[in-house]
Structure 1
Amino acid sequence: MASPPTASAAGPRWAPRKASSPPGCEANGAEAATPPRFPELYSPGKPFAGPELQSLAADGLLARFHQHGYTLPGTPASPQLRARAAAGNVPAAIRQRVVAGRMTAAWIYGCAAEPDRLALLVDAKRRVSSLRNTRGCTLHEVKLGPFDVISLGGLMVSSPLRTALDIALHVEPERAVPALAELLARPQQDVKLRLLVRAIEATPRIPHKRNALEKLALLAPAFVPGGAVDVKNPVDPADGAQDVAEVLGIPHLESEL
């Protein structure tokens, strides 16, 4: 791993302060010095300006991580780190009122490229009028169930299954299909195709249901009604509805169980 940034032609010399010994105490020379800790993420103004960050990256002291942020070279990407990066672009005043979703959530999970604008979900129970002027973000007013949201890196993010459902329903096929394939291919995300199909079928009054099923049929026709291959062992409707209700918290299904 390259050494942490200490100087740049574009900005002032920077190095961590050495901690002094507490009053009345002598430093123990036998103790190993504690290595300095550097931030995992660098964004404009924290502590360098944008041109300084670009210069440090050009010198190989930092690596570009996302649109407006950098990391130390060799820092492994993780959903937590991507969520922290996204959180840095959400105004602090609204950070606890929004949920990163759709292609932004897919990027956080490592299943898609970073989108140009953050997709933020706002629960329909909350007032969204005060959020309309949020820059660099696209707001979507939605209904969120108790299992639709998780916390990552200081940001609320739609769960993998809810993310897949929203992408299937609302994102154009060119971007949706590769992202869905990645979500389905990663066991740690626990997104099952049959459950995703059931979730789409159980979603009431959504105009894009047919298009969503067509996208999934491109991935595995055997699991999608009307696909090229019939399902040999179909999911029992009652069991499928129960799974969907428990995972997505769909009220109209819960009331029937």
Structure 2
Amino acid sequence: MAIPPASSDAGSGRDPSASPPGPGCPAGAAEAAAAPRFPELYAPGVPFAGPELQSLAADGLLARFHQHGYTLPGLPASPQLRARAAAGAVPAAIRQRVVAGRMTAAWIYGCAAEPDRLALLVDAKRRVSSLRNTRGCTLHEVRLGPFDVISLGGLMVSSPLRTALDIALHVEPERAVPALAGLLARPQQDVRLRLLVRAIEATPRVPHKRAALEKLALLAPAFVAGGAVDVEDPVDPAHGAEDVAEVLGVAHLEREL
């Protein structure tokens, strides 16, 4: 695989065959417009196959970013970039019908390692039979409210509060507790322990409530004593975390990251 050799013109981002800037067009603006833009993410396929990407990474020209992709060296990871990486692993035909959730969402928010398989949520109101054979993904049929989902990096992702709720209820403690600690510790996620506890209490007919509260008790034993929580303002059974937000007047669930 050949890499184009560097030259003085190429190094400056100028095309040697390009015409000089026209009247009224500053030279700097023309050069900026002509400067090549490199993709932030590279996945096996076009323009490089998997072995070529590995070779570029070995030469220091790319850096491994996630399981199936690379990025330019020094490019800071962000929730938007991780969401874009996850979106690239979701088949385009179903990308607008699923929501990245659970540990996949925790990874997108920077609070967990990338999971081996994508966890995708499918709203119970949608037909999921056509999605059953999606490779590399685990599908979870759930009920989603309007504040349970945000748009991030071209992918629908469960909101930080909904992500924390699902992890507390459905993920084993050894993975759930560190992810919950990360979600609770980052102010930009705005996930508060008391709100999360109430969301768990408001979830209807879920057999994992006590186990979820026990996980939170490992993080804040003084607040969640033995999993028994005194809820002063009971919340009616809810299908999504937005019902808890309505009771407590939490506005942060209504915005996108």
If the length of structure 1 is used for normalisation, what is the TM-score? 0.83
Number of residue pairs aligned between Structure 1 and Structure 2: 233
Aligned residues of 2:99 and 2:120 also touching (Cα < 8 A): yes
Match of 1:5 in 2: none
Runs (5+) with no aligned partner, structure 2? 248-257
In 2, Cα distance between equivalents of 1:247 and 1:186 = 22
Match of 2:3 in 1: 13
Match of 1:76 in 2: 76
Aligned residues of 2:204 and 2:238 also touching (Cα < 8 A): no
The within-5 A match list for 1:150-169 is 150-169=150-169
What is the identity, as a one-letter code, of the residue corresponding to 1:112?
A
Match of 1:49 in 2: 49
Runs (5+) with no aligned partner, structure 1? 1-10
What is the identity, as a one-letter code, of the residue corresponding to 1:237?
D
1:110 paired to 2:110:
yes
In 1, Cα distance between equivalents of 2:129 and 2:242 = 26
Deviation at 1:225, TM superposition (A): 5.0
1:58 paired to 2:58:
yes
Residues 246 and 122 (structure 1), Cα distance of their counterparts in 2 relative to 1, 3 Å cut: closer
Identity %: 80
Deviation at 1:226, TM superposition (A): 3.6
1:217 paired to 2:217:
yes
SS of 2:80's equivalent in the other structure is helix
Match of 1:197 in 2: 197
1:67 paired to 2:50:
no
In 2, Cα distance between equivalents of 1:207 and 1:245 = 15
What is the identity, as a one-letter code, of the residue corresponding to 1:248?
A
Residues 206 and 19 (structure 1), Cα distance of their counterparts in 2 relative to 1, 3 Å cut: farther
SS of 1:221's equivalent in the other structure is coil
* Misfit runs of 4+, over 3 Å: 12-21, 25-30, 244-247
CA RMSD of aligned residues (A): 2.7
Aligned residues of 2:143 and 2:239 also touching (Cα < 8 A): no
Aligned residues of 2:204 and 2:239 also touching (Cα < 8 A): no
In 2, Cα distance between equivalents of 1:99 and 1:86 = 11
SS of 1:111's equivalent in the other structure is coil
| Residues 110-153 of structure 1: CA deviation (Å, up to 9, x unaligned) | 00000000000000000000000000000000000110000000
| Residues 42-80 of structure 1: CA deviation (Å, up to 9, x unaligned) | 111131000000000000000000001101100000000
Residues 31 and 144 (structure 1), Cα distance of their counterparts in 2 relative to 1, 3 Å cut: same
Aligned residues of 1:146 and 1:248 also touching (Cα < 8 A): no
